[in-house]
Structure 1
């Protein structure tokens, strides 16, 4: 009975560790240039891919900001509630990739790679075009 309890505890702990290493959850975005918190983005899994939406803009003066630099169906739409991450899939190496991330400040869309760090407390967000990339490190809120 003790062995069964230990085995079940180990299984539960390993499942919790995997869940903590997932990008699914609520994240505080951090500007890589100013190191200031900008927004809260909720990442969820839908049909095997990740989708991330702006849930809150932290600067009260920017609550009503629109994406005037965006193209297509996002042009002149509110940034609050906007899907900025789409299509990332688990890569098998602890990261999620092959999706896209939109920077609503400049309207550019980048190829995306998400890598949980520090036991899932930090999310490395890499957006790249060809060989050029930029990283942000988001902080887990929940």
Structure 2
């Protein structure tokens, strides 16, 4: 009897591990490196085996504001239409990343909707360790090629904080 229970438990654990979400998936707040203020919240999600990211709020901007600094089109952009006419909120500015390993994605793209620049994108999840990473952190790396680029560090957030940021967002005039 004990052997049957152990075997059943073992298979349940194996199945649960196979269906767990990658740790990069979820809500992440981008933070200004100089002021330490939140600049926006992103929803990072997996679709058809690839990773995407859309802004849910961009602080100081109307959610319907168009990404007018962007070009009309970008290589492999996943949504039809003119990118420079798409809203800041809900447009997949992070797209087509491929899983390298658990918590590590690469070979995709990110567009900076503020200036329209296009970069190769890598994302690496860093679990909170109480030392270097005080909380779960997402390393967002944009590169122009040959490893030349820079990283930003985003912090995990939740639906309640995101809803509060959406509610209190004041559009700059």
TM over 0.5: yes
Q: Structure 1's 93 and 22: CA in aligned 2 closer, same or farther, altered over 3 A? A: closer
1:23 is the counterpart of 2:24: yes
**Residue 138 of structure 2: aligned partner:** 123
**Residue 67 of structure 1: aligned partner:** 67
Q: Which of 68-77 and 121-130 deviates more?
A: 68-77
Q: Secondary structure of 2:101's match?
A: coil
**Residue 49 of structure 2: aligned partner:** 48
Shift of 1:79: 0.6
**Residue 137 of structure 1: aligned partner:** 153
Which structure would you say has the larger Rg?
A: 2
Shift of 1:93: 6.5
Distance 1:110 1:34 in 2: 24
Looking at secondary structure, tell me which structure has more strand per residue: 1
Unaligned 5+ runs, structure 1: none
Distance 2:102 2:61 in 1: 37
**After TM superposition, what 4+ stretches of structure 1 lie above 4 angstroms from structure 2?**
none
TM-score (norm 2): 0.67
RMSD: 2.8
TM-score (norm 1): 0.80
Unaligned 5+ runs, structure 2: 73-81, 129-134, 159-173
Number of paired residues? Answer: 137
8 Å CA contact 1:67–1:105 kept in 2: the answer is: yes
Q: CA offsets per residue over residues 5-60 of structure 1, 9 Å max, x none?
A: 9x64x937x839x64x5211111112234332111111111110011111122x2x
8 Å CA contact 1:32–1:135 kept in 2: the answer is: no
Distance 1:116 1:128 in 2: 17
